[in-house]
Amino acid sequence: SAVISQKPSRDICQRGTSLTIQCQVDSQVTMMFWYRQQPGQSLTLIATANQGSEATYESGFVIDKFPISRPNLTFSTLTVSNMSPEDSSIYLCSVIENYGYTFGSGTRLTVV
């Protein structure tokens, strides 16, 4: 299965700043997903990132707040912009392959 390297693993950020999370996959994949997991909650899909096209955002998530880049088939970034304490969550990327989904190691974000 694919191996995903996600960075950073954790960060503590000041409100009003932005953080960019990176995911590098060791093979080419068409679809990459970005999830948020708020404390005590289930994972929620933020957006689907396809190479060469705009990301598709889920209801409640907007590009200005969570801009995504997908410059090639092995790499994507998610930026959490103008952060507030409510953005404190675990953020995960994921890819789909024939036999299922592979997830990154997660980024634990705390906004103070």
User: Which residue in 101, 86, 108, 83 sits closest to 11, CA to CA?
Assistant: 108
Q: DSSP assignment, residue 26? A: S
C-beta separation of 21 from 69 below 8 A: no
Contact status: 2 vs another protein (CB under 8 A): no
* Interface with another protein in residues 18-77 (CB under 8 A): 31, 33, 37, 40-45, 48
Contact status: 103 vs another protein (CB under 8 A): yes
C-beta separation of 83 from 20 below 8 A: no
Contact status: 13 vs another protein (CB under 8 A): no
Binding site for another protein (CB under 8 A): 1, 6, 9, 31, 33, 37, 40-45, 48, 90, 92, 94, 96, 99-108
